[in-house]
């Protein structure tokens, strides 16, 4: 079966235009939030917080905030788009377009990845103004950012398909995604934790996503590079496959 590049690009462009129409909310607002984190955590907590090796706390914090910007904004994109489509009854169009479930997933997830990448990129550039920062592995950073935003966008797509309204969708972000992200080392290195808590943190899948970004930027992290990459790639394959299956079968879209 031939891949419908034109159809996928058309749907992708529609989704990108949707979030760019309100770019002050979807791009600028998250970056400002990250800058506030930098200002507060960097000046208040940074004086006593533990870094990694020769890196100061502020240098540890910036990659964590980049990871948070990548993940949260890639996640929020398809959630909002799909639930709005349910309110307007446009969701049935996904069952009628001449695209396979895989192609629809590529379009939605690709657009959400673009949003996450934009926020993450601007956050990284802004963070470089606060501390001395250089990217140790640029190509690895692009790879990790792509996998991380792909995971988040796939999760957002699944939640957008399953949840009937914004209230229930927000429960997942509030009580599952945000706690796992905060406990995954966004604001700290797990080397600063007691051994028991550091061990438990390694069972948090988002820890490997955050640490992968930190390894890419600083060259060091809390876990071996190949381990973080393997966990991240495997997580992406599972999440993208599940999102693609939902579109392919029309799960929760036909009712």
Contact 201, 207 (CB under 8 A): yes
pLDDT value of residue 22: 95
Task: Print the SS3 string covering the chain.
Answer: CCCCHHHHHHHHHHHHHHHHCCHHHHHHHHHHHHHHHHHHHHHHHCCCCCCECCECHHHHHHHHHHHHHHHHHHHHHHHHHHHHHHHCCHHHHHHCCCCCHHHHHHHHHHHHHHHHHHHHHHHHHHHCCCCCCCCCCHHHHHHHHHHHHHHHHHHHHHHHHHCCCHHHHHHHHHHHHHHHHHCCCCCCCHHHCCHHHHHHHCCCHHHHHHHHHHHHHHCCCCCCHHHHHHHHHHHHHHHHHHHHHHHHHCCCCCC
Q: Where are the domains of the chain?
A: 5-249
Q: Which of 230, 37, 246 minimizes the C-alpha distance to 158?
A: 246
Q: What are phi and psi of 251, to 5 degrees?
A: -60, 125
Query: At which residue do the structure tokens 């770019």 appear?
Result: 23
Query: At which residue do the structure tokens 């001395």 appear?
Result: 132
Q: Does the model's pTM come out above 0.85?
A: yes
pLDDT string in tens for the chain (255-residue length)? 689 999 999 999 999 999 999 999 999 999 999 999 988 877 777 666 656 678 888 899 999 999 999 999 999 999 999 999 999 888 888 888 889 999 999 999 999 999 999 999 999 999 998 888 889 999 999 999 999 999 999 999 999 999 999 999 999 999 999 999 999 999 988 888 899 999 999 999 999 999 999 999 999 999 999 999 999 999 999 999 999 999 999 998 876
How far, in Å, CA of 248 to CA of 33, rounded? 37
């Amino acid at each position: 079966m031939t891949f419908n590049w034109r159809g996928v690009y058309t749907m992708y462009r529609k989704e990108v235009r949707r979030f760019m129409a309100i770019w002050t909310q979807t791009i600028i607002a998250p970056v400002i939030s990250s800058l506030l984190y930098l200002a507060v955590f960097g000046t208040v907590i940074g004086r006593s917080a533990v870094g990694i090796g020769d890196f100061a706390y502020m240098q540890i914090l910036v990659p964590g905030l980049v990871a948070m910007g990548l993940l949260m904004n890639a996640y929020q994109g398809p959630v909002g788009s799909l639930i709005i489509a349910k309110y307007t009854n446009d969701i049935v169009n996904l069952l009628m377009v001449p695209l396979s479930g895989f192609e629809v997933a590529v379009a939605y997830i690709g657009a959400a990845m673009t949003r996450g990448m934009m926020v993450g990129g601007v956050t990284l550039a802004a963070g470089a103004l606060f501390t001395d920062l250089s990217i140790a592995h640029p190509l690895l950073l692009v790879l990790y950012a792509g996998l991380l935003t792909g995971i988040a966008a796939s999760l957002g797509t699944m939640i957008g398909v399953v949840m009937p309204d914004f209230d229930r969708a927000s429960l997942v972000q509030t009580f599952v995604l945000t706690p796992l992200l905060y406990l995954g080392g966004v604001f700290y290195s797990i080397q600063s934790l007691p051994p028991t808590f550091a061990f438990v943190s390694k069972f948090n899948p988002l820890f490997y996503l955050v640490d992968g970004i930190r390894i890419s930027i600083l060259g060091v992290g809390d876990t071996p590079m190949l381990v973080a990459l393997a966990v991240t790639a495997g997580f992406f394959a599972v999440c993208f496959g599940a999102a693609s299956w939902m579109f392919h079968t029309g799960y929760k879209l036909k009712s």
